[in-house]
């Protein structure tokens, strides 16, 4: 936690994000056809979510070591989509891998964020690690055909995959990975669950966030995002809309969406450990016999859940 804060403050000073250097149109969120690209200062603040930062950093390092063992080509190519103003995972890993081993392409739709990231690599003398700085929409970007793409890293999400374009970006980029390439996060799953508010918040208030204290009735996974599922979803005409049965004895319980994130291998983020894995309570579903859930992409990504109580 303290390390994330120190690093954030150092990088904010170096980029001028702690002052008023970033001003004008690009200090705001950018609304894209696939969701919201959050503003440079908000993107920078993601570094402070320590559990997220640790899981993504270690997961990305493990993914790079895996592709280095899997492929003979050097350097291996990583595309960091939505790198934000600090491109933190490329910046930190540039101290672990030489440019002959790994080359990163940094991409962000916000020119100010990308400019900050470029300035940091120049300040720290790490420019050899970067193949290119690309200002583009990652949901439509086309990777150069002549280069095999070994790792795609994207963290442009909020809990329950709402608001930001993680899904659209993954659907565009996963099919562009070379065979055997890795998408980070390796798996994101959103589950529809029932929960008992009394047990839920008593456990949280006592500081005991272990699963054992809470009640969970998992009705099913409503969206799973992996490289394979992203490729399949990219070919599909619409997102799945599973209809899940609610067991009669649990119908009095309210519902929530849970987000499980595995960056890579065993590097995952625990429930409640990060803003990305906080449960998302849903209203109006208690008593439902069946619930239909569909992810709606577009400019306002959200899950729509409706009761299917007829017969």
Ligand X SMILES: C[S@@+](CC[C@H](N)C(=O)[O-])C[C@H]1O[C@@H](n2cnc3c(N)ncnc32)[C@H](O)[C@@H]1O
Provide, rounded to whole angstroms, the least separation between the CB of residue 171 and ligand X: 11
Compare residues 160 and 305 and give the one whose CB is closer to ligand X.
160
Q: Does 34 bind ligand X (CB under 6 A)?
A: yes
Which residue of the chain is nearest ligand X when measured via CB?
82
Provide, rounded to whole angstroms, the least separation between the CB of residue 34 and ligand X: 6
Contact assessment for residue 223 and residue 159, using Cβ atoms and an 8 Å cutoff: no
Q: Which of 11, 17, 37, 91 binds ligand X (CB under 6 A)?
A: 37
Q: Backbone dihedral region of 14: left (phi > 0), alpha (psi from -120 to 50 degrees) or beta?
A: alpha
Q: Does 165 bind ligand X (CB under 6 A)?
A: yes
User: Do β-strands 76-81 and 102-108 pair in parallel, antiparallel, or remain unpaired?
Assistant: parallel
Q: Does 230 bind ligand X (CB under 6 A)?
A: no
Q: Which of 137, 162, 186, 191 binds ligand X (CB under 6 A)?
A: 137
Could you say which residues in the range 38-97 bind ligand X, by CB under 6 A? 38, 43, 46-47, 81-84, 86, 88
Within 8 A by CB and 6+ apart from 222, the residues are 190, 191, 192, 240, 242, 244, 257, 293, 294, 295, 303
Specify the 3-state DSSP secondary structure of 25.
helix
Site stretch for ligand X (CB under 6 A), options 104-112, 207-215, 270-278, 280-288: 104-112
Report the 10 Å Cβ neighbour count for 123: 12
Q: Does 279 bind ligand X (CB under 6 A)?
A: no
In the chain, where does DSSP find H-type helix?
2-15, 40-45, 50-70, 88-93, 111-123, 166-173, 197-205, 227-235
Task: Reply yes or no: is the peptide bond before residue 185 cis, omega within 30 of 0.
Answer: yes
Q: Does 138 bind ligand X (CB under 6 A)?
A: yes
Provide, rounded to whole angstroms, the least separation between the CB of residue 211 and ligand X: 26
Q: Which of 67, 109, 120, 257 binds ligand X (CB under 6 A)?
A: 109
Provide, rounded to whole angstroms, the least separation between the CB of residue 57 and ligand X: 9
Give the integer Cα–Cα distance in Å for 151 and 65: 11
Compare residues 83 and 282 and give the one whose CB is closer to ligand X.
83
Compare residues 44 and 222 and give the one whose CB is closer to ligand X.
44
Burial of 77 (0-12, 13-18, 19+ CB in 10 A): buried
CB hemisphere CA count around 69 (13 angstroms): 6
Q: Find the distance separating the first CA and the last CA of the chain, reported in whole Å.
A: 51
Site stretch for ligand X (CB under 6 A), options 109-117, 250-258, 260-268, 277-285: 109-117
Q: Which of 11, 17, 22, 32 binds ligand X (CB under 6 A)?
A: 32
Compare residues 39 and 194 and give the one whose CB is closer to ligand X.
39
Provide, rounded to whole angstroms, the least separation between the CB of residue 258 and ligand X: 20
Number of residues that bind ligand X (CB under 6 A): 26
Using CA of residue 26, residue 32, residue 38, residue 40, what is the dihedral sign? negative
Applying CB under 6 A, the residues found at the interface with ligand X are: 32, 34, 37-38, 43, 46-47, 81-84, 86, 88, 107-110, 113, 137-139, 155-156, 164-165, 169
């Amino acid at each position: 936690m303290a390390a994330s804060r120190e690093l954030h403050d150092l990088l904010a000073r170096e980029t001028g994000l702690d002052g008023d250097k970033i001003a004008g149109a690009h200090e705001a969120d950018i609304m894209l056809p696939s969701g919201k690209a959050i503003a440079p200062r908000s993107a920078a603040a993601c570094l402070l979510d320590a559990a997220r930062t640790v899981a993504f950093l270690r997961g990305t390092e493990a993914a790079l070591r895996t592709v280095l063992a899997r492929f003979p080509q050097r350097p291996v190519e990583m595309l960091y989509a939505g790198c934000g103003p600090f491109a933190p995972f490329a910046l930190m890993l540039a101290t672990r891998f030489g440019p002959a081993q790994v080359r990163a392409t940094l991409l962000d739709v916000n020119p100010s964020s990308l400019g900050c990231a470029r300035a940091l690599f120049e300040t720290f003398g790490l420019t050899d690690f970067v193949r290119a700085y690309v200002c583009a929409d990652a949901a439509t970007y086309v990777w150069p055909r002549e280069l095999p793409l070994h790792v795609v890293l994207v963290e442009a999400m909020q809990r329950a995959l709402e608001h930001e374009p993680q899904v659209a970006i993954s659907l565009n980029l996963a099919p562009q990975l070379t065979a055997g390439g890795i998408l980070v996060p390796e798996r994101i799953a959103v589950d529809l669950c029932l929960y008992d508010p009394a047990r839920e918040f008593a456990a949280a208030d006592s500081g005991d966030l272990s699963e054992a204290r809470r009640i969970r009735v998992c009705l099913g996974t409503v969206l799973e995002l992996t490289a394979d599922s992203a490729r399949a979803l990219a070919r599909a005409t619409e997102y799945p809309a599973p209809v899940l049965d609610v067991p009669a004895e649990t119908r009095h319980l309210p519902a929530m969406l849970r987000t499980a994130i595995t960056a890579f291998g065993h590097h995952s983020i625990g429930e409640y450990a990060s803003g990305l894995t906080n449960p998302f309570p849903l209203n109006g579903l208690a008593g439902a016999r069946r619930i239909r859930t569909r992810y709606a992409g577009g400019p306002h990504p959200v899950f729509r859940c409706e009761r299917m109580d007829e017969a």
